[in-house]
Structure 1
Amino acid sequence: MKKIVIIGAVGGGATVASQIRFYDEEAKITVFDRDDTMSYAACGTPYAIGQVIEDPESLLVADVRSFKDKRNIEVFLRHEAVEIHRNEKRVTVKNLQSGEFFDEPYDTLILAPGGSAVVPDIEGLSTSEVFVLRSYGDMQKIKDHITRHKPQSCVISGAGFIGIEMAENLKHLGIDVQIVHRSPYVMSILDEDISELVRKELEANGIIIHTDTSISKTDQRNVTLENGKTLQADFQIMSIGIQANTKLAEKAGLPIGPTGGIVTNEFMQTSDPDIYALGDATENVDFVTGREKRVPLAWPAHRQAYLIARHLTGTAIAKNGLLGTSVVKVFSQTVGMTGLSETMIKENGLPYATVIHRGNSNAGYYPDHAKLTLKIHFNTETRKILGAQCFGGKGVDKRIDVIVTAMYGDLTVDDLQALELSYAPPYSSPKDPINMAGYKAVSK
């Protein structure tokens, strides 16, 4: 009987355990996690804080008992793996409740340690109420603080996914929000013109934004910025980035790549064939360029869990590169992207052109329609799509998903005009924005 040990019990770790069990009824599977909850929907935590999701416990997908009863998988929470002994194929684990150390043998080890929120070394930070949002426990702390202290204002450091989602949800609770962002424009993964649309929507909903600066000092409610401004905030949220949890892998001598993630091959194996890794802590490759890429999002972790399970159970499937497809709700609008931004294209020295279509999400005469901007970059030599971004009131996810499918299907930008996409006035137009972008690309 094969002994499989998994480090990490959230999205990637819990999913890979379940996937392996689906294909292998006999393997002995043991999971360790240092947190006190497992298998929760981390992406839903901002909306639970904002009370859009009324029951936070609905984010808890599974628990220790259900994993044991339904899947025959042992899960130990509040247990931290502290060292991997590769030659002896065992892991030293610390029981965080009792302080006891013990060794757990394995035939196969799977690392799903995730990532941690980056908290900069800021003068006086300990004097202020400061939170991060990376776990179910973090969510509970923020909710508890809001319930008990009823804060009226918050400064969010970072205008990425979490920062923007938290800005909307805190505003939903009636809290005044200011965002501080080091880059010149919000959501730095976007092109500047699409980012500006996001900024306008944030500001239209009362969010005050400070770009090209960062927090240099805090003193209780006083937040001093590098540009000299001083803000007032009852509490702060740090959402400036995610650092891969690679210390365990590094200590074991497993290679870490230039993006800061654990290096894996096409089957998610590390340099040690008996140790796999997946999720936020891993380095993968970019679908377009083939260069190193780390994408700390839910979809890659779940896909990688499936690939590991199939490789372990005899039907190997190699991973594709990652596009970094993402979508974010911004009050009444949505922004989505896939593939390379214009900055990334220039950094890679690729010949490119851009087509932009501004129109309606669906028939303009239909009462429920919204403005939509679709921007697509393509290689001028091969005509292959390099990336796309979309902003609008509805239908953004649909258009980005079509572009993703086109890229995976190796279609050119010219092929977009010929796609027979579904049409009825409530949903699209006879020539969908995707088709229109394809027609417009012909002239380029």
Structure 2
Amino acid sequence: MSAVEPRCTIVVGGVAAGMSAATRLRRNDEHRRVVVLERGAHVSFANCGLPYHVGGVIEKRDDLLLQTPTSLAARFGLDVRTRHEVVTIDRDRRTVVVRAFDEDREYEESYDELVLATGARAVRPPIPGAERAHTLRDLDDMDAILAVLDGSSVAVARSVVVVGAGFIGIELAENLTRRGLGVALVEREAQVLPPLDVEMAGLVDARLRAHGVDVRTSAGVARIDADEVVLDDGTRLAADLVVTAVGVVPESGLAERAGLAVGEGGGVEVDPQQRTSDPAIFAVGDVAVKRDALNGQATLIPLAQTANRQGRLVADVIAGRDVVAPPVLGTAVVGAFGMTAATVGWSEKRVRAAGRPVRVIHTHPSDHAGYYPGARAIALKLLVDPRTDAILGAQGVGEAGVDKRIDVIATAMRGGLRASDLADLELAYAPQYGSAKDPVNMLGMVADNLAAGFTDTVQWHEVDEVARSGATVIDVRTPEEYASGTLPDAVNVPLDELRHRHQELPEGRLVVTCAVGQRGHTATRLLRQLGREDVANLDGGYRTWKQAVGV
């Protein structure tokens, strides 16, 4: 009686999603053949660390190489083949044709299950001279950039233009500046970090400029010349090195050639268990279509954490476990010269563009108790569905404590908590870590006040309309604060005097402002109970308005 051949799973792509799938599958099934075919020279490398090796923060290149084919074979018994590209898939015969670059040959390999983890490729903008620009997606890209910076390919670079001010563009701008280069950051949109709202992204913009980055927003690139970048308005920026970071698109060509269903954005369509239109073939990571947690629609979110989770999940599905991939929230974070910006869910501009109602909350708490040394202000923004109190998204910007607040809100969204529920979360507290009323609790308290109708708010972008409508703006800060800057035509009545001076206020609608909204809320409650029903608080106070309008 002949031995039964073990099942064989082939994984195409050996970075985040692919290697997570392969190693998890081995833990689930010791007897299965697991073959990983990777087109590049490396597997299991830390591509999120590439900008930081460019900047010298991660000093050793080898620290980016988490595993090698040899180490993966020794520990997991995986058959990992680098510089092996899958060029075609025969779905009827369940075979793939593999091109082995180093051996200059092609061969066939059979599979029982095929996992496509081919990732995404960098977008190259269709502009003259784009072939001169570098991208940063893998170690080869990084080495090519370093060759320019170190002078081993051309003269040592002194000036750099980074095209695209998203997460990768900002990381590159920071790290290249730290190397001592003159860096210009060019963004077609009207703000840096387009996934954030403008008043939040403005804080990052200011930090970049303060550290010498030449930030150019609302600026398109007309062409890339030998030693400069020419913008649409004719501006010429010196550029010994140009790096484009304008986004990625799924590497779905292999799937498309095999006749698998591919979505409008190029992602491979999958079911909740990551199966493609062929039940023997799965797709995971950046190449696969995800489902948005807020509307259930198809989306492409190229994040390493999502890729790793999907790789783990698909291995469990192949091994027989009945699990499904949850929809995605798009939680992301970036650092820039000591400042952190993070986001989860939708932005306000996306909510409004979709025609959905939204309640907006801005706060400016300290990252920990104000009486403990070193407390620093952070800016938080919460987006709430006013009909259901559901959390639609959140953003945070500051020097400390931002990431954990956004992580808490992301967890609340995943668990289906309402915005008002944030007020009752039991979060760790000691003076050096937070406050007895944590910033997340405070967001929940504001959300609860608004949901209960205890107060009403107006937003920073509604101030001009408020003025045109004839409302009176009351600034309840101290005279010293008022003198340092206030909203146009605001009248100063300090909060501590308001109870006794409220009869001085003109009839009609009142809009109250303070520094960050807290005193404004107290004033609004007071005025309502003194008979002034048509009164609203400026959400986030003067600080939010100022950071948005840039005065």
TM range (shorter): over 0.9
- The alpha-carbon deviation at position 247 of structure 1 amounts to 0.4
Residues 153 and 232 in structure 1, CA contact (< 8 A), matched pair in contact too: yes
1:137 lines up with 2:140 in the alignment:
yes
Say if 2:157 is the partner of 1:151: yes
Residue 100 of structure 1 corresponds to 105
Contact preservation (8 Å) 1:307, 1:316: no
C-alpha distance in 1, partners of 2:445/2:258?
54
* Within-5 A mapping of 1:409-428: 409-428=415-434
SS of equivalent residue, structure 1 residue 178: strand
1:144: Cα distance to partner? 2.3
Structure 1 residue 440 displacement after superposition: 1.1
Deviation of the 1:99 alpha carbon: 2.6
- Match runs of 1:120-199 below 5 Å: 120-126=125-131, 128=132, 130-148=133-151, 149-199=155-205
Deviations 1:304-326 (A, max 9, x none): 01110111112121111000000
Asked if 1:5 is matched to 2:10, the reply is: yes
Question: Aligned equivalents of 1:299 and 1:371: distance in 2?
Answer: 28
- Please tell me the residue identity of whatever aligns with 1:319: A
Q: What is the alpha-carbon distance in structure 2 between the residues aligned to residue 95 and residue 38 of structure 1? A: 16
CA distance in 2, matches of 1:121, 1:373: 37
The Cα shift of 1:150 comes to: 2.8
**Is the Cα contact below 8 Å between 2:10 and 2:35 reproduced in 1?**
yes
Cα distance in 1 for residues equivalent to 2:370 and 2:182: 35
Higher strand share: 1
Q: 2:92 aligned with 1:87, yes or no?
A: yes
- Give the greater-gyration-radius structure (CA): 2
Pairwise CA distance, 1:151 = 1.3
TM-score normalised by L of structure 2: 0.79
- Does the Cα contact within 8 Å between 2:162 and 2:245 map onto a contact in 1? yes
Q: 1:290: which partner in 2?
A: 296
SS at match of 1:363: coil
Give the deviation of 1:171 after TM superposition: 0.6
Q: Cα offset for 1:44?
A: 0.6
Gaps of 5+ in 2: 1-5, 451-551
Aligned-residue offset at 1:125 = 3.8
Alpha-carbon distance in 1 for matches of 2:178, 2:8: 48
C-alpha separation between the residues in 1 aligned to 2:213 and 2:82? 39
Does 2:230 match 1:224?
Answer: yes
Residue 389 of structure 2: SS of its match in structure 1?
coil
Q: Is the 8 A contact 1:258 1:292 kept in 2?
A: no
Q: Is the Cα contact below 8 Å between 2:88 and 2:258 reproduced in 1?
A: yes
Q: Work out which structure has the larger RCO, using CA pairs closer than 8 Å and 6 or more positions apart in sequence.
A: 1
Task: State the distance in 2 between where 1:349 and 1:121 align.
Answer: 32
% same residue: 38
1:343 positional shift: 2.0
Could you tell me which runs of 5 or more consecutive residues in structure 1 were left unpaired when the two chains were aligned. Answer: none
21, 29, 44: which is aligned to 1:24? 29
SS of the aligned residue for 2:365 comes to strand
Which AA in structure 2 matches 1:24? Answer: D
User: 1:178, CA displacement in angstroms?
Assistant: 0.3
Residue in structure 2 matched with residue 321 of structure 1 by the alignment: 327
The reply on whether 1:387 has 2:378 as its aligned counterpart is no
The change in CA–CA distance for 1:313 and 1:125 in structure 2 (over 3 A counts) is closer
1:39 counterpart = 2:34: no
Task: Give me the whole-angstrom Cα distance separating, in 2, the residues matched to 1:200 and 1:325.
Answer: 23
Q: CA deviation at 1:226?
A: 0.8
> What letter matches 1:113 in structure 2?
T
Contact 2:124 2:130 in 1 (8 A): no
Q: How big is the alpha-carbon RMSD for the aligned residues of Structure 1 and Structure 2?
A: 1.1
**Alignment partners' CA distance in 1, 2:36 and 2:416:** 39
What is the rounded CA distance, in whole Å, between the counterparts of 1:89 and 1:382 in structure 2? 49
